[in-house]
């Protein structure tokens, strides 16, 4: 269930010399690195890159892994999370992949990591300036569900023409009475590009705004990468009469008692008994180790 | 004998070693460049142990950036100062980058401060693909000593005060050519230090007593 008990020590594995450092070849890394520099210079703009086949299927974080491989150095400390958890299959596999191909140190502690690759969450612990977040992105184009043509969406980005996005959010209000988008909630970066923040819950959107850490986004199947530099304004789209707001829970975490973290709902039996626990396992474990506990 | 060599087949005697550790030194140089561009106006230093051996005419950081970022996909334009046999031979050999005489075709350009009054010709990208613009590597004697200007924008918490030794003509050129998202991204390099100026950075011109008529007021 939740890794709230004892922190597992991460053994440092020797690098597997059969692979180039961090798996990718140097020319691929250079291509991705040049793309990343342009992505940082044009915040929120999707840079096409020559995505490579990785030894795992699309949808398992191939985009994020290629970015991590391109930026990773021998001195880095890598943390990988999947839906906030360090101990799920995707997170464990990717962490082991880089421990083996790059020989880097890994950690589950957010403050100790220099690179955090993530699927669908931003850690609850505030990030600092020497950290880089790498997001795994399935569909990088926020307009794709409205306009299937890449030529058209590229033109819309070029012309700063995002009216259709507001129409979609308005249709939510017309149908449900509120903006029903709960994850991958579109944002405007530095008052210019509309960007998909990857499928993080909208709860995490405010953490993108003026963050101290550099944010990099990689979509392997779609072969796009983009970035939000530190201290960049990131605003969630909304309306004056329907302002953006994040999820709230009446419950608190059953393990650490936190009232303000993102909670996962667990169904405990056939009668539908619910329990709520933190999605961020490291945050939860730290609170428990500091002596805080649930009811 | 050497005079009979065509300019294309450069003498092997000009060649010298590049990065001691081609993988990790390139990664460290890239990370310095990434940090420089993600935090405009804050100088990043490369350690002596991770920079390549001295190449006549190139600062350590310029040399490291070239080795880290250039390859067969990146045509390079050289300002006349840098268009020497040694630089051509080594960058062609170690990076494999084509060296072009036409600014329009360059993805990277290596400039010194004598070139900064005229940035015409460099690719600024287009509105659909602004990332296709040329990246300028500008080698300066120092990263300090000029008029202090306040930079703000993405990557900068409030304001960064930067005093690059640049003529006003450079800022006017940049102002004239930046039409976000199209624009010019620059790395300023001196010795083993580098400093990033992405197109997204706005440069504030404070009124100066010495020059009462300040022409270009950015934003």
The percent of residues in chain B predicted with pLDDT above 90, rounded, is: 87
Chain B CB within 8 Å of residue A232 CB: yes
Write the residue in B38, B183, B185 that is nearest to A229 by C-beta: B38
Write the residue in B34, B69, B129 that is nearest to A40 by C-beta: B34
Local confidence band at B212 (pLDDT 50, 70, 90 cut-offs): very low
Joined together, the tokens standing for residue B142 give 């120092």
The pLDDT of residue B191 is above 70 = yes
Residues of B with CB under 8 A from a CB of A: 22-24, 26-28, 30-31, 33-34, 37-39, 68-74, 107, 126-131, 133, 135, 153-157, 180-181, 183, 185, 198-200
Q: What is the pLDDT of residue B214?
A: 44
Local confidence band at B209 (pLDDT 50, 70, 90 cut-offs): very low
- Using a 10 angstrom Cβ sphere, with 0-12 exposed, 13-18 middle and 19 or more buried, the burial of residue A233 is middle
The pLDDT of residue B82 is above 50 = yes
Across the interface, whether the CB atoms of B31 and A73 are under 8 A apart is answered: yes
Chain B CB within 8 Å of residue A13 CB: no
Give the integer Cα–Cα distance in Å for B175 and A138.
37
pLDDT digits (tens, 9 = 90+) for B24-39: 999 999 999 999 999 9
Give the integer Cα–Cα distance in Å for A123 and A109.
10
Residues in chain B closer than 8 A to A210 (CB atoms): 157
pLDDT digits (tens, 9 = 90+) for A78-132: 999 999 999 999 999 999 999 999 999 999 999 999 999 999 999 999 999 999 9
pTM above 0.90, yes or no: yes
Across the interface, whether the CB atoms of A42 and B131 are under 8 A apart is answered: yes
pLDDT digits (tens, 9 = 90+) for B115-129: 999 999 999 999 999
Q: Which residues of A are catalytic?
A: 44, 253, 256, 278, 284
User: How many CB atoms are located within 10 Å of the residue A138 CB?
Assistant: 18
Write the residue in B39, B69, B107 that is nearest to A33 by C-beta: B69
Write the residue in A21, A155, A214 that is nearest to B38 by C-beta: A214
Please, what is the average pLDDT of chain A? 94
- Nearest Cα to A154, choosing from B198, B180, B130? B130
Give the integer Cα–Cα distance in Å for A215 and A230.
7
A277 DSSP β-pair partners: A264
The three-point CA angle A254-A258-A260 to 5° equals 130
Low-confidence ranges of chain A (pLDDT < 50): 1-4
C-alpha dihedral, B78 to B84 to B89 to B90, nearest 10°: -70
Residues in chain B closer than 8 A to A32 (CB atoms): none
The pLDDT of residue B218 is above 60 = no
Please, what is the average pLDDT of chain B? 91
Local confidence band at B206 (pLDDT 50, 70, 90 cut-offs): low
Chain B CB within 8 Å of residue A253 CB: no
H helices present in chain B, as ranges = 22-38, 60-69, 85-94, 168-177
The three-point CA angle A194-A28-A111 to 5° equals 60
Chain B CB within 8 Å of residue A155 CB: yes
Rounded mean pLDDT of B62-73? 98
Rounded mean pLDDT of B63-72? 98
Q: What is the pLDDT of residue B215?
A: 45
Could you give the C-alpha distances from B21 to A122, B46, B49, B188, in angstroms and in order? 34, 14, 10, 24
Buried b / exposed e across B13-30, counting CB within 10 Å, b at 16+? Answer: ebeeebbeeeeebbbbbb
Q: What is the pLDDT of residue B11?
A: 72
């Amino acid at each position: 269930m939740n890794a709230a008990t004892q922190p597992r020590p991460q053994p440092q594995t020797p690098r597997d010399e059969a692979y180039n450092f961090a798996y990718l070849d140097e020319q691929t890394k250079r291509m991705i690195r040049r793309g990343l520099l342009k992505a940082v210079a044009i915040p929120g703009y999707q840079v096409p890159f020559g995505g490579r086949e990785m030894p795992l299927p699309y949808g398992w974080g191939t985009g994020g892994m290629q970015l991590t491989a391109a930026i990773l150095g021998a001195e880095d400390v890598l943390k990988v999370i999947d839906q906030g958890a360090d101990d799920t299959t995707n997170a464990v596999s990717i962490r082991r992949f880089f421990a083996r191909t790059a020989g880097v140190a890994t950690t589950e502690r957010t403050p100790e990591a220099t690179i955090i690759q993530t699927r669908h969450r931003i850690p609850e612990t505030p990030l600092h300036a020497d950290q880089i977040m790498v997001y795994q992105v399935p569909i990088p184009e926020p307009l794709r569900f409205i306009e299937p043509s890449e030529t058209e969406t590229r033109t819309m980005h070029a012309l700063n023409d995002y009216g259709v996005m507001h129409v979609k959010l308005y249709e939510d209000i017309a149908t449900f009475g509120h903006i029903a988008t709960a994850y991958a909630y579109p944002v405007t970066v530095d008052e210019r590009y509309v960007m998909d923040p990857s499928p993080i819950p909208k709860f995490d959107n405010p953490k993108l705004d003026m963050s101290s850490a550099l944010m990099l986004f990689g979509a392997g199947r779609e072969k796009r990468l983009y970035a939000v530099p530190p201290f960049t304004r990131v605003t969630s789209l909304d309306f004056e009469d329907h302002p953006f707001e994040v999820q709230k829970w009446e419950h608190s975490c059953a393990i650490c008692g936190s009232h303000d973290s993102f909670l996962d709902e667990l169904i405990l039996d056939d009668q539908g008994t619910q329990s709520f626990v933190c999605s961020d396992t490291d945050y939860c474990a730290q609170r428990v180790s500091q002596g805080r506990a649930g009811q | 004998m050497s005079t009979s060599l065509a300019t294309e087949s450069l003498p092997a005697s000009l060649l010298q070693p590049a990065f001691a550790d081609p993988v990790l030194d390139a990664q460290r140089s890239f990370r310095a460049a990434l940090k420089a561009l993600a935090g405009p106006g804050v100088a990043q230093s490369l350690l002596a142990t991770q920079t390549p051996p001295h190449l006549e005419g190139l600062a350590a950081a310029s040399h490291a950036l070239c080795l880290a970022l250039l390859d067969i996909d990146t045509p390079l334009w050289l300002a006349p100062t840098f268009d020497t046999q040694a630089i051509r031979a080594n960058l062609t050999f170690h990076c494999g980058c084509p060296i072009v005489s036409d600014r329009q075709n360059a993805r990277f350009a290596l400039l010194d401060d004598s070139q900064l009054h005229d940035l015409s010709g460099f690719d600024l990208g287009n509105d659909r693909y602004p990332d296709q613009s040329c990246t300028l590597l500008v080698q300066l004697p120092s990263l300090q000593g000029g008029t202090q200007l306040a930079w703000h924008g993405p990557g900068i918490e409030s304001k960064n005060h930067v005093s690059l030794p640049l003529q006003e003509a450079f800022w006017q050129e940049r102002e004239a050519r930046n039409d976000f998202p199209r624009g010019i991204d620059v790395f300023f390099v001196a010795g083993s230090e580098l400093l990033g100026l992405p197109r997204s950075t706005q440069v504030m011109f404070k009124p100066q007593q010495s020059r009462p008529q300040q022409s270009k007021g950015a934003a």
